[in-house]
Chain A
Amino acid sequence: DIQMTQSPSSVSASVGDRVTITCRASQGISSWLAWYQQKPGKAPKVLIYAASSLQSGVPSRFSGSGSGTDFTLTISSLQPEDFATYYCQQAKSFPFTFGPGTKVDIK
């Protein structure tokens, strides 16, 4: 299986802050990476697919970059509704493994 790691595991930030989350794959996955946002009691929601493509309806303050083994999710100006847990997921090979998550909470 391809192992996914994320850093940091949690981050405290204020509204308006720029937040960056890093995801690393244990082997090269080209651009086969998606990012999800999950709020308590809800299913995850896809934000970014193919490493840098913004899912329809997702605000443009979210962006993704990277290829190979190292990827980044950036929230350019944190909004109140962005406080949640974020997961990366590789789609290179099954099982499509997820990272352990990064919790973004209020400073």
Chain B
Amino acid sequence: QVQLQESGPGRVKPSRTLSLTCTVSGGSFSSGAYYWSWIRQHPGKGLEWIGYVYYSGITYYNPSLESRLSISVDTSQNQFSLNLSSVTAADTAVYYCARVEKVRGIIYWGQGTLVTVSS
């Protein structure tokens, strides 16, 4: 059974960097079939794709966040990480990590972690 778990601070001060890590258990982390992704949901709102990292380290970033965003992968630990710099209150959201397949969609999600940007 594949499981994903987000970890990181639940509160970040404005202008600082938001850092989260997703730990994956079960399945094949280094399969070429998966895009290891971050998705967020602002309170009471819809879903926003942040970006993905491939097991090889190739990344894709949402253009709306690209200038502040970095996603990396550590295949030895079955982990991938998100760093979002210069955060504002508009970055307050539930952040999900997910295993994405182009054909089958997003079957596996983390439970989500609420990150609040506040001083």
Contacts and interface: CB of A to CB of B under 8 A. Distances in A.
Contacts of A94: 49, 52, 60
Interface stretch (B10-18, B26-34, B84-92, B101-109): B101-109
Which interface class (under 10, 10 to 19, 20 to 34, 35 or more) fits B? 20 to 34
B62 interface: yes
B106 A34 contact: yes
Interface stretch (A10-18, A19-27, A44-52, A73-81): A44-52
Contacts of B104: 46, 49-50, 55
Interface string A81-94: 00000010101001
A98 interface: yes
B46 to A, nearest CB: 5
B110 interface: yes
Given A43-B110, A43-B111, A94-B52, A49 B46 contact: no
A46 B105 CA distance: 7
Given A43-B111, A55-B107, A87-B47, A95 B102 contact: no
B35 to A, nearest CB: 8
Nearest to B97: A43
Contacts of A44: 47, 106, 109
Interface of B: 46-49, 51-52, 60, 62-63, 96, 98, 100, 102-107, 109-112
Interface of A: 1, 32, 34, 36, 43-44, 46, 49-50, 55, 87, 89, 91, 94-101
